[in-house]
Amino acid sequence: MQERPRSLLVQIPCRAASLRLTLPAMPITRFAPSPTGLLHIGHAHSALFAQAAAGSGGTMLLRLEDIDLTRCRPDFATAIEADLAWLGLGWPLPVRRQSEHFGEYRTALERLIGRGLAYPCFCTRSQLAAAMAAPHAGEPVYPGICRALSPAERADRIAAGDAHGWRLDVAAALAETGPLEWRDLDHGLVPATPLDGGDVLIARKDIPASYHLAVTWDDALQRVELVTRGDDLFAATHVHRLLQALLDLPVPVWHHHRLLLDAEGKRFAKRDRAPTLAAMRAAGISAAELRARAGFPDQPAA
């Protein structure tokens, strides 16, 4: 087998500054949709972006982020694979389904709990809605209600069977890791500021993981070297960088891309019933036309 060139020093135009970044020559990238609905053209853009970022020598993997057992459905998962194949995408390794790996996430979670870096959160949905509704700039942030509980109170409530998730104690975690940064092909070298997002949930009440923990674990496990995803997840990367440092995981490069917008300048979203790939296909739109509408027109043959 041909040896993979380890890395290539490339000059990349960045939004922040022109930076020299070390990027694998033939990177492993991934597309990681959640099967909570059918794919729309915004997803097609992300998937094609991941494949283009892998380039002809790299590898794009597919991961189904299906930890939410109430919202994810096997028929959506099947449809996602069919839509991607119709679009012309392939992935050389078996699809990783997060719902099959709860044991791994639990082990990672227990490492953080054991080091005093996570605390149980007993807040109910309505408590959270009230606590996080206070007007302030930016996204709502958890105000640390359960961080204030004493160890005895926590133990009593757990022993009493009170439902609880787990939150990362971000300040305590940062005190261990010290300042962190990460590299983004569009934004340049970014200082990690996970405190801005508050103590995020790393395990939900019903499962031993959250998006943040599972995505960080899996990107490392799948040896993803270049994480491509939409700008809407940019803030999450600050948390992921912290989790990587805490769990001693390799650090990829990121490329957050701008979101594809509809004719009114709004992002495509499942909740707004964006037209699905399946519906467009049924309406007779070809895969080539769809790729072009998603921003990746086929290259004319040389």
Task: Round to whole Å and give the CA distance between 82 and 76.
Answer: 10
Question: Which C-beta is closer to ligand GLU: that of 42 or that of 208?
Answer: 42
Does 48 bind ligand GLU (CB under 6 A)? Our answer is no
Q: Which of 167, 183, 229, 238 binds ligand GLU (CB under 6 A)?
A: 229
SS (H, E, C) 103-166: HHHHHHHHHHHHCCCEEEECCCHHHHHHHCCCCCCCCCCCCCHHHHCCHHHHHHHHHCCCCCEE
Other C-beta atoms lying within 10 Å of the C-beta of residue 38? 18
Q: How far is the CB of 237 from ligand GLU (least distance, A)?
A: 9
Q: Which of 118, 185, 215, 274 binds ligand GLU (CB under 6 A)?
A: 215
Question: Which C-beta is closer to ligand GLU: that of 32 or that of 280?
Answer: 32
Does 259 bind ligand GLU (CB under 6 A)? Our answer is no
Question: Which C-beta is closer to ligand GLU: that of 183 or that of 229?
Answer: 229
Q: How far is the CB of 10 from ligand GLU (least distance, A)?
A: 23
Question: Which C-beta is closer to ligand GLU: that of 117 or that of 215?
Answer: 215
Binding mask 16-45 for ligand GLU (x = CB under 6 A): ----------------xxx-----------
Q: Retrieve residue 195's tokens.
A: 């405190």
Q: How far is the CB of 219 from ligand GLU (least distance, A)?
A: 8
Task: Round to whole Å and give the CA distance between 51 and 124.
Answer: 40
In the chain, beta strands by DSSP E: 8-12, 19-23, 28-31, 59-64, 96-97, 118-121, 165-168, 181-184, 188-191, 201-203, 226-230, 253-257
Q: Retrieve residue 52's tokens.
A: 């283009």
Question: Which C-beta is closer to ligand GLU: that of 192 or that of 215?
Answer: 215
Task: Round to whole Å and give the CA distance between 269 and 262.
Answer: 10
Does 233 bind ligand GLU (CB under 6 A)? Our answer is yes
Question: Which C-beta is closer to ligand GLU: that of 23 or that of 214?
Answer: 214
Question: Which C-beta is closer to ligand GLU: that of 34 or that of 51?
Answer: 34
Q: At 188, is the secondary structure helix, strand, or coil?
A: strand
Q: How far is the CB of 258 from ligand GLU (least distance, A)?
A: 15
Q: How far is the CB of 117 from ligand GLU (least distance, A)?
A: 22
Residues of span 124-163 touching ligand GLU by CB under 6 A: none
Total residues at interface with ligand GLU (CB under 6 A): 7
Residues of span 49-78 touching ligand GLU by CB under 6 A: 65
- The DSSP bridge partners found for residue 167 are 119, 201
Task: Round to whole Å and give the CA distance between 124 and 142.
Answer: 12
157: amino acid identity, one letter: R
Q: Retrieve residue 61's tokens.
A: 């993997």
Question: Which C-beta is closer to ligand GLU: that of 169 or that of 218?
Answer: 218
User: 250, 227 in Cβ contact below 8 A?
Assistant: no
Give the footprint of ligand GLU on this chain (CB under 6 A): 32-34, 65, 215, 229, 233
